[in-house]
Amino acid sequence: MNSTKIIILFFTLISLSGCSSLSWINFWQDEDEVEGPSELYSVTNNIQLEKEWSYSAGNDQIYGRLLPDIYEGNLFFINSIGNLSTLDLNSGNRIWYEETNDVVSSGVDVNFKTVTYSTLDGFLVALDHKSGKELWRTQTSSEGLSPPANSGKHIILQTVDGRVSGYNLKSGELEWFHQTVLPSLTLRGTSSPFIDKGFIFTGFANGKVAMIYPDSGAIRLELPVTINEGKSELERIVDVDGKPVITNELLIAASYQGNISAINLRDGRPTWQEKLSTVKDLAVNGSRVIAVNDKGILKAFGIATGAIIWEQEDLKLRNLTSPASVRNLVAVGDFEGYIHLLNAQNGDFEGRKKVSRNSIVEIIPDGNNLIIVDSTGRIQKFTTN
| CA end-to-end distance (rounded Å), the chain | 76
Label the pairing between strands 114-118 and 94-99: unpaired
Q: What is residue 239's predicted lDDT score, i.e. its pLDDT?
A: 86
CA atoms within 13 A on the CB side of 102: 28
What residue ranges do the domains of the chain occupy? 59-179
| pLDDT tens-place string over residues 200-242 | 999 988 888 999 999 999 999 888 888 767 677 787 777 889 9
pTM: predicted TM-score of the whole model, two decimal places: 0.88
Q: What is residue 380's predicted lDDT score, i.e. its pLDDT?
A: 98
C-alpha 296 chain-centroid distance: 12
Q: What is residue 43's predicted lDDT score, i.e. its pLDDT?
A: 94
Residue pair 145/152 in contact by the 8 Å Cβ criterion: no
C-alpha 232 chain-centroid distance: 26
Q: What is residue 227's predicted lDDT score, i.e. its pLDDT?
A: 75
Q: What is residue 191's predicted lDDT score, i.e. its pLDDT?
A: 87
Phi-psi domain of 58 (left: phi exceeds 0; alpha: psi -120 through 50; beta: other): left
Q: What is residue 11's predicted lDDT score, i.e. its pLDDT?
A: 41
Q: What is residue 14's predicted lDDT score, i.e. its pLDDT?
A: 38
Which residue ranges in the chain fall short of pLDDT 70? 1-33, 60, 183-185, 228, 230
Q: What is residue 233's predicted lDDT score, i.e. its pLDDT?
A: 76
Q: What is residue 16's predicted lDDT score, i.e. its pLDDT?
A: 38
| pLDDT tens-place string over residues 259-304 | 999 999 998 899 999 999 999 999 999 999 999 999 999 999 999 9
Burial of 10 (0-12, 13-18, 19+ CB in 10 A): exposed
Hey, what CATH topology would domain 59-179 get?
Lipocalin (2.40.128)
Q: What is residue 33's predicted lDDT score, i.e. its pLDDT?
A: 66
Q: What is residue 29's predicted lDDT score, i.e. its pLDDT?
A: 45
Residue pair 109/149 in contact by the 8 Å Cβ criterion: yes
